[in-house]
A and B are shown apart, each in its own frame.
Chain A
Amino acid sequence: MTELTRNQELTENEVIKEIRSEYQYGFSTPEDYFFKSGRGLSHELVDAISEHKNEPEWMRQFRHRSLDYFLARPLPEWGGDVSEIDFDNIFYYIKPTEKQASSWDDLPAEIKDTWDKLGIPEAEKKYLAGVGAQYESEVVYHKLQADLEAKGVIFLDMDSGLREHEELVKQYFGTVIPQNDNKFAALNSAVWSGGSFIYVPPGVSIEMPLQAYFRINAENMGQFERTLIIVDEDAYVHYVEGCTAPIYSSDSLHSAVVEIIVKPRGRCRYTTIQNWSNNVYNLVTKRAVAYEGATMEWVDGNLGSKLTMKYPAIWLLGERAHGEVLSIAFAGKGQHQDAGAKCVHVAPNTTSVITSKSISKNGGRAGYRGLLEVAKGATGSKSKVVCDALILDEESRSDTYPYIRVDENDVDLGHEATVSKIGEEQLFYLMSRGLSEAEASAMIVSGFVEPITKELPLEYAVEMNRLIQLQMEGSVG
């Protein structure tokens, strides 16, 4: 680590310390005291969260049932090792400021300072249609451009969504990912806070991507954001989620749930670039349903974290629905990326494409775990799965687990998998042009993931390449 980055981190940690000290002043009343000191999980906690948010009774009940499911389910024994997560030593809910700020100027200076480092103002200046950023558990800053509002588009944090559009939320919440779907979805369902709620009315196409920034900023704090996106008939939205997290001394848990409903002929693209710090458990459930003629696309970049288990899924429920999953996983030292995709063909003439690229280096472990399922009656369905792995050294590892279940004859399925190493000849060719070995390797890796970076909004593509470059520096030679 260079002196410069160490100093930056110090400053960042100091900033965060200041912010935390401010919480103590902010939460000095007895009932709020709970929120800064309460570690661990209980029905009392669920009540407190629900009460604090002033939620309707059905949501409170939903949370309680979810907690029961969570407590009853064993930890998964497949994928990555989650046995070291200490569920009693996690803050499940922290509220950073009392009220949401509606404009940049209203934000506390410390928070703004941290966000400046994330580049939010620049991004906004450029062209963002709307910015929601999650700071600790609550979205404190939210802005939606006037023309979107005029079109009837709803883009709120999930808590506000529940308050302001209860019927809509009640109709869809937990329908794509049931509360007992898996242990971590149950946990999220019990203690969720924040996340985005988006509704795009019929025929409305939002050209600019909607963006939200997520960030974990308190030690031992779980982040359980909950996102629900409803794209109505013939509508289109591109939602972009970018994550960074500072480094802390003990493990952090991020367990999100994202549910998406794409109605007939609608289209939704959901882009994620995650760069969690190396102590974060990133256990996320993402699932979309696509109705007749609808298109769902997940673009998923996973860098960082200690362990990521994430398999964006698409249920193709209507005829001619189309699903695409593009994913990159980069596993460095001490990291395990268990990423992949699921596509389930339920209706006839549905199509799906899964493209997965994984890179492992310095003993990292990256894998593809995919499920492709074609149900009885989904005749004429087509699917193509391509998973490519690049292993950069002898200590690193790549796994491929492509599960395929087909209950229909009239289908067209293709699966290709490659595992490669950076070739000595390619390296020599690039080095003979003056590039150092690290630069040459980074260039080959950037090229390897290019099919996915080219699908990213420009500033994310640039950031992605920069992150890869940073990951590659000092890894060879």
Chain B
Amino acid sequence: MAYLELRDLHVALEDGTPIVKGVDLEIDLNEKHAIMGPNGSGKSTLAYALMGHPAYEITGGEIVLDGENIVELEADERAQKGLFLAFQYPHAIPGVTVTSFLRSAINAIRKARNGGVDDPIPVKEFRTEILAAMERLKVPRELAQRYLNDGFSGGEKKRVEILQMALLRPRIAVLDETDSGLDIDALRIVAGGVNELVGPEMGALVITHYQRILNYITPDKVHVFVGGRIVASGGKELAEQLEAEGYDAFMPKEEVAA
């Protein structure tokens, strides 16, 4: 059984509009999956719903993480169980430094993994880890003392997302359009971070519109996502085909006409 399994997952907006219409997907540790789809296909909704965003309702199916159906859990509990979402548009938290936020998040997850008993990371260990991770991901030192995402450039935000991923050590990381707004150098660094973390401890799901990021993160599997469904799955050659031919071939007929 894969570490994360989506079984016939259906997601709707609060007003009942269905967006994700029956998705089956298995992602294991040490695997890189890519979901590729055009704008409006429901990719980001899928990402948010996986993480437990309150505005999206799971109307059917299951999300099974490490053998447990987590659809009823809040976002914080999902994170504590090892799910991570790198946001397309990370939110600014004015007045809270990157360092202090990271320490709180690490400690929240450590506490959950320690049976609900506080187990704060020793200051020295935290400092060593954060400095090493910042160095690896080429996150400028000065960002550590700035307010989280407040006034950050697009590239800085994405790097800090990957920094969070590196420090929180999730089992399954979902990256929502992480390539958008990145120049080639930043893309390389971000992709390098993902490649480094994927292994026996972590699997990743990369959600993207473009094939570009997949030049740097070579996926084991590619899924084409159109109209709220996975319409095709294959190896990385599928991504190349998409890049060459576009999504038209995968579109339902009436949508192509529209």
Contact residue range for chain A?
A: 20 to 34
- Report yes or no: A448 in contact with B108, Cβ–Cβ below 8 A: no
Assess A443 versus B104: contact at CB under 8 Å? Given A428-B54, A434-B112, A448-B94.
Answer: yes
CA distance A280 to B57 in the complex (A): 46
Q: Which of A426, A433, A439 contacts B168 (CB 8 A)?
A: A433
Interface pick from B84-92, B127-135, B177-185: B84-92
Q: Which residues of A contact B164 (CB under 8 A)?
A: 433
Q: Does B147 contact A (CB under 8 A)?
A: yes
Q: Which residues of A contact B90 (CB under 8 A)?
A: 429
- Report yes or no: A434 in contact with B94, Cβ–Cβ below 8 A: no
Q: Does A435 contact B (CB under 8 A)?
A: yes
Chain A contacts with B in 196-239, Cβ cutoff 8 A? none
Q: Does B121 contact A (CB under 8 A)?
A: no
Chain B, residue nearest A453 (CB): B95
Interface of A is mostly: helix
Q: Which of A433, A447, A449 contacts B108 (CB 8 A)?
A: A433
- Report yes or no: A447 in contact with B94, Cβ–Cβ below 8 A: yes
CA distance A5 to B106 in the complex (A): 28
Nearest CB in chain A: distance from B126 CB, A: 15
Q: Does B137 contact A (CB under 8 A)?
A: no
- Report yes or no: A428 in contact with B53, Cβ–Cβ below 8 A: yes
Interface pick from B75-83, B214-222, B223-231: B75-83
Chain B contacts with A in 100-140, Cβ cutoff 8 A? 101, 104-105, 108-109, 112
- Report yes or no: A447 in contact with B76, Cβ–Cβ below 8 A: no
Q: Which of B79, B95, B96, B147 contacts A434 (CB 8 A)?
A: B79
Q: Does B2 contact A (CB under 8 A)?
A: no
Q: Which residues of A contact B147 (CB under 8 A)?
A: 447, 450
Assess A435 versus B104: contact at CB under 8 Å? Given A424-B54, A424-B55, A428-B75.
Answer: yes
Q: Does B74 contact A (CB under 8 A)?
A: yes
Q: Does B51 contact A (CB under 8 A)?
A: yes
Q: Does B93 contact A (CB under 8 A)?
A: yes
* A to B contact number (C-beta, < 8 Å): 80
CA distance A459 to B73 in the complex (A): 37
Contact residue range for chain B?
A: 20 to 34
Chain A, residue nearest B89 (CB): A425
CA distance A169 to B168 in the complex (A): 60
- Report yes or no: A432 in contact with B79, Cβ–Cβ below 8 A: yes
Q: Which residues of B contact A430 (CB under 8 A)?
A: 93, 101, 105
- Report yes or no: A435 in contact with B95, Cβ–Cβ below 8 A: no
Q: Which residues of B contact A440 (CB under 8 A)?
A: 76
Q: Which residues of B contact A437 (CB under 8 A)?
A: 74, 76
Q: Does A444 contact B (CB under 8 A)?
A: yes
Chain B, residue nearest A436 (CB): B76
- Report yes or no: A429 in contact with B108, Cβ–Cβ below 8 A: no
- Report yes or no: A429 in contact with B55, Cβ–Cβ below 8 A: no
Q: Which residues of A contact B108 (CB under 8 A)?
A: 433-436, 439
CA distance A450 to B74 in the complex (A): 28
**Most B CB atoms within 10 A — which of A428, A430, A431, A434?**
A434
CA distance A440 to B93 in the complex (A): 10
- Report yes or no: B94 in contact with A432, Cβ–Cβ below 8 A: no
Chain B, residue nearest A357 (CB): B95
Q: Which residues of A contact B91 (CB under 8 A)?
A: 423, 425-426, 429
Chain A contacts with B in 403-449, Cβ cutoff 8 A? 423-426, 428-437, 439-440, 443-444, 446-449
Chain B, residue nearest A477 (CB): B74
* 13 A–B contacts, CB within 8 A, in A order: A428-B54, A428-B75, A430-B93, A431-B75, A432-B87, A433-B76, A433-B101, A433-B108, A437-B74, A437-B76, A443-B101, A446-B95, A450-B96
Interface residues of A (CB under 8 A from B): 423-426, 428-437, 439-440, 443-444, 446-451
19 more CB-based (< 8 A) A-B contacts, given A426-B93, A431-B74, A447-B93: A425-B91, A429-B90, A430-B93, A431-B76, A432-B76, A432-B84, A433-B164, A434-B79, A434-B108, A434-B112, A434-B168, A435-B76, A439-B104, A443-B93, A446-B95, A446-B96, A447-B96, A450-B94, A450-B147
Q: Which 3 A-B pairs have the closest CB atoms?
A: A447-B95, A450-B95, A434-B79
